[in-house]
Structure 1
Amino acid sequence: MWFHFGIATVQNKNWFYRLAYKDQLLDDSHINVILYYIRKRAKYSDNNTFRFISVDCNFNNLIHNIWDAYYNFESIINKDSTEESILQYINGYKMHVVAPWHTIDNILIPINVFHWILIVVSFNDRCIQIYDSLSGGALHDSYVENEIKKSSERR
């Protein structure tokens, strides 16, 4: 039997195995489903004072594409279509159970850098917070910092 979770359809029981047991790698579909239900609960809850949305795992790919399009002169990525996709996220048209960004305080962005990290962009505090479950040495921290720089640099 197939399981439909609103934004993903699971056809393989190993999908659940990865959630149930430790030391299993989660893929994009796991993270997208988890964040979908967090968004849904927050949107339809009556006593939610923390106003936020989350984006899916594809959002980070779009950020990488736009980074590559502007900083790599040999890039074949279409800037206009990538920017239009990002605008659809900002206006709340791209995903299920979202709100336009001007109505919320924080954005949760999942990023996969050998493991999952969570970036929280706070509009009220004008800061970016990084939640990294794997604390590594200087090499790990510099790699994560380089990945985050693509999301945080302004032009």
Structure 2
Amino acid sequence: MQRLFGLLCGEMQDDTPLAHASANARIHRIALTAAGQNQIRRREHTEHPISPAIETLRQHAFNDVDLTRVAEQFSMSPATLRRKFIAATGMPPKVFQLRVRLDRAKEMLAISNFSVKAIASQVGFDDAFYFSRIFTRREGLSPSAFRKQNRRL
């Protein structure tokens, strides 16, 4: 959350249409993140705590993650991890991991000069073409088109 607020402050200082749109999107993301954290906390009062598993997956999202090992680490079966993960986040662990990867890729496309291939590698994709295909399917734009629309340098 602190990182999101820090980025928002930077965007609020720039008085351009792109900065305004970016700030609006960031505010929406902050609200969704806060709502999600609130839902997780409420559920943890009645269920096995899942926040540590979510945070573990977020921290390791750019690497290959063995969900069986993550489940074992938190003393649950893979099926229980998946069920609780969906209940807490609204998505299965692998979809969550992909969302974290794509969100980071979008940030990098908007603020860096790294090539699409370099960004794909940094967010955990070995194949830049596969990354571009997934990015386009999920975001509705190719990575290059996204960069052109959201450039913040």
TM-score (norm 2): 0.30
Higher helix share: 2
Greater strand fraction, Structure 1 or Structure 2: 1
TM-score, normalising length from structure 1? 0.30
